[in-house]
Homo-oligomer: A and B are copies of this chain.
Amino acid sequence: MAGGRTGRRPGLSGTRDDILRAAREEFAARGFRGATLRAIASRAGVDTALIRHFFGRKDTLFRAALDLPETTSRLIQAVAITSSDPGAGERLARTYLALWEDPLTRSVMQSMLASAVGHPDAQALLARDFAAMVAEAVSHTSKDMPELRLTLAFSHLAGVAIARHISKAASLTALDLDSLVALVAPAIQQYLMGPLPGAR
A75 interface residue, CB < 8 Å from B?
Answer: no
Max chain B CB contacts within 10 Å: which of A113, A167, A172, A197? A167
- Beyond A197-B182, A199-B179, is A116–B166 a contact (Cβ under 8 Å)? yes
If A118-B114, A152-B183, A186-B190 touch, does A162 touch B158 (CB 8 Å cutoff)? yes
Say yes or no: is A169 at the interface (Cβ < 8 Å to chain B). Answer: yes
Docked complex Cα distance between A199 and B151 (Å) = 26
CB-CB contacts below 8 Å: A146-200 with B: 147-148, 151-152, 154-160, 162-163, 166-172, 175, 178-187, 190-191, 196-200
- The answer to whether B159 and A155 touch across the interface, beta carbons within 8 angstroms, is yes
Tell me if A123 counts as interface (CB < 8 A to partner B).
Answer: yes
Contacts of A147 in B (CB 8 A): 170-171
A64 touches B (CB below 8 Å): no
Q: Is A39 an interface residue (CB 8 A)?
A: no
**A131 to B: closest C-beta gap in Å:** 9
Is A155 a contact partner of B179 (Cβ separation < 8 A)? no
Give the copy number.
2
Against B, the Cβ 8 Å flags (1 = close, 0 = not) of A125-157 are: 011001000000000000001011001101111
- A162 and B117 contact, CB distance less than 8 A: yes
Is A86 part of the contact surface with B, judged by Cβ < 8 Å? no
Complex Cα spacing A178 to B200, Å: 12
* Known A-B contacts A34-B34, A198-B182, A198-B183; A163 and B154 likewise in contact (beta carbons under 8 Å): yes
Asked if B186 and A199 make an inter-chain contact with CB atoms under 8 angstroms apart, the answer reads: no
For the complex, give the distance between the alpha carbons of A186 and B188 in Å: 12
Contacting residues, chain B, for A151 (C-beta < 8 A): 163, 169, 171-172
Give chain B residues whose Cβ lies under 8 Å from the Cβ of A175. 198-199
Binary contact readout A46-79 vs B (1 if CB under 8 angstroms, 0 otherwise): 0000000000000000000000000000000000
**Residues of chain A whose beta carbon lies under 8 Å from any beta carbon of chain B:** 30-31, 33-34, 113-114, 116-118, 123, 126-127, 130, 145, 147-148, 151-152, 154-160, 162-163, 166-172, 175, 178-187, 190-191, 196-200
